[in-house]
Amino acid sequence: MCGIVGYIGLQDATPVILNGLRRLEYRGYDSAGLAVLQDGHIQVRRDAGKLARLAALVSEKPVHGNVGIGHTRWATHGVPNERNAHPHASQNGHVVVVHNGIVENYLELRGELQAEGVEFKSDTDTETIVQLVEKYLSLKIGLVEAVRKTLGHLKGAHGIVVMSSEEPDKIVAARIGNAGGVVIGIGEGEMFVASDMPAILDHTRRMVFLESCQIAVVTCSGLEVQTLEGKPVRYEVHSVGWDQVSAEKGEYRHFMQKEIHEQVRSLTDTIRGRADFEDGRINLPQLNLTPELARRIKKIVITACGTAAHAGMVGKVQIEKIARIPVEVSIGSEFRYSDPLVDEDTAVLAISQSGETADTLAAMEEARIKGAVLWSIVNAIGSQAMRTADGYISMQTGPEIGVASTKAFTAPLVDLYMLAVLLADLRG
């Protein structure tokens, strides 16, 4: 699992996909591939190793078409080689799929399909998905319904994008659980699909973010979002303020160096419009924090993973010192297993740069079940952690590409400090 890019429109899909995958190289991967619909047939190009090897393969064996999907992969099942790289094709070659996540029951599904005569070409769990889609397509029920029935067999969390030569006018995407995001980019007479916004920022800033248990039917002319049961869903189109320049290294040797130097500006952006130094007041309107709620809260639990959890530890000290509210810090991956003592008088504050950290999202779901007030500090506009929360604080720090966090560590420190001051003010 790693990076996904898809395109449908009037442009040649191959360079769009390759460029989008380059924008996602920072996520790390061990193989890459793409599939493009050319002259009514799906052509697949893939290889182990760096994206440059895939680009060289495409240059040697060109493929052109207006619909395509691509993927960069970190191996979870099977060694990193060409036959295990995505996209995976069905037995008849009419369907291809790229996938983030793990099919937890893939051995069971693989055994059932093999008993029906299906011959597998890879060692991956993902191939079970595409073979199931082909099985249901053979029943003449259509691609969307075939994907829907396939999803009903899968255990685990998934982000899936499917393309078929039998229905060349669409791409079908789906999200189940928290295996990373699925973003739909809206263009003029063209549409984009990606696992992360930087992949498609060159083409559009208008984004739709799939929720868990939703299916997107993407065509040149528009987007339809459905539940797993087939009911239409009204979706919100987000206008993303990030630009592609902010997701490029520019004059710096690497992204980490760039993002270290960006902190002076990014921290100013974090504070801008929120801190009134003349009146000594903090304004965090998206948090939806009223004086009544501030006085009702008896405890705050900060949940996060990795670097964000360290920011939370610093925030605990500031909130307790300034707002005089007890604070606990819980690692996101441990929160739901610890039977946490949270209720309607507890605020659970999740911190995530991407807003898609699976363990942190799972902690938020657990907090919701227990009736807690749910807040988040996030950087990615429109992310799951932002949409799930009762209120949020945006880091406003621009995209962080480097794996080692810099500005997405210092920004939440400032956010937590402002939260502490606001809570103290509202509580009197």
User: What is the reported pLDDT for 255?
Assistant: 80
Assess whether 242 and 293 both reside in one domain. no
Assess whether 343 and 393 both reside in one domain. yes
The answer to whether residues 255 and 249 touch, using CB atoms and an 8 Å cutoff, is: yes
Q: Say whether 340 sits in a helix, a strand or coil.
A: coil
Q: Rounded to an integer, what distance in angstroms lies between the CA atom of residue 149 and that of residue 43?
A: 25
The answer to whether residues 327 and 315 touch, using CB atoms and an 8 Å cutoff, is: yes
Assess whether 187 and 268 both reside in one domain. no
Helix spans in 7-162 (H): 13-23, 51-60, 106-115, 126-137, 143-151
Phi and psi based region of residue 180 (left: phi greater than 0; alpha: psi -120 to 50; beta: remaining) = left
**Residue whose C-alpha is closest to residue 127's, from 105, 98, 152, 153:** 98
Phi and psi based region of residue 156 (left: phi greater than 0; alpha: psi -120 to 50; beta: remaining) = left
Residue 401 structural domain:
252-426
Assess whether 122 and 196 both reside in one domain. yes
Which one of 221, 246, 271 terminates a domain? 246
* Pairing mode, strands 3-8 and 171-176: unpaired
CATH assignment at residue 15: 3.60.20.10
Which one of 246, 262, 283 terminates a domain? 246
Environment class of 229 (CB within 10 Å of its CB; exposed 0-12, middle 13-18, buried 19+): exposed
- Give, to the nearest 10 degrees, the angle between helix 126-137 and helix 143-151: 130
> Would you write out the chain's pLDDT as a tens digit for each of its 428 residues?
578 999 999 999 999 999 999 888 876 778 899 999 999 999 999 999 889 999 999 999 999 999 999 999 777 766 778 889 999 999 999 999 999 999 999 999 999 999 999 999 999 999 999 999 999 999 999 999 999 999 999 999 899 999 999 999 999 999 998 877 899 999 999 999 999 888 998 899 999 999 999 999 999 989 999 999 999 999 999 888 765 556 666 677 888 888 888 888 889 889 988 998 888 899 999 999 999 999 999 999 999 999 999 999 999 999 999 999 999 999 999 998 998 999 999 999 999 998 888 899 999 999 999 999 999 999 988 888 998 999 999 998 887 777 788 989 999 999 999 999 999 999 98
Residues listed for the chain: 428
If one counts the domains in the chain, the total is 2
Q: Say whether 171 sits in a helix, a strand or coil.
A: strand
**Residue whose C-alpha is closest to residue 228's, from 171, 150, 169:** 150
Assess whether 34 and 153 both reside in one domain. yes
Assess whether 142 and 156 both reside in one domain. yes
Which one of 214, 246, 278 terminates a domain? 246
The answer to whether residues 27 and 3 touch, using CB atoms and an 8 Å cutoff, is: yes
Assess whether 370 and 279 both reside in one domain. yes
Assess whether 289 and 336 both reside in one domain. yes
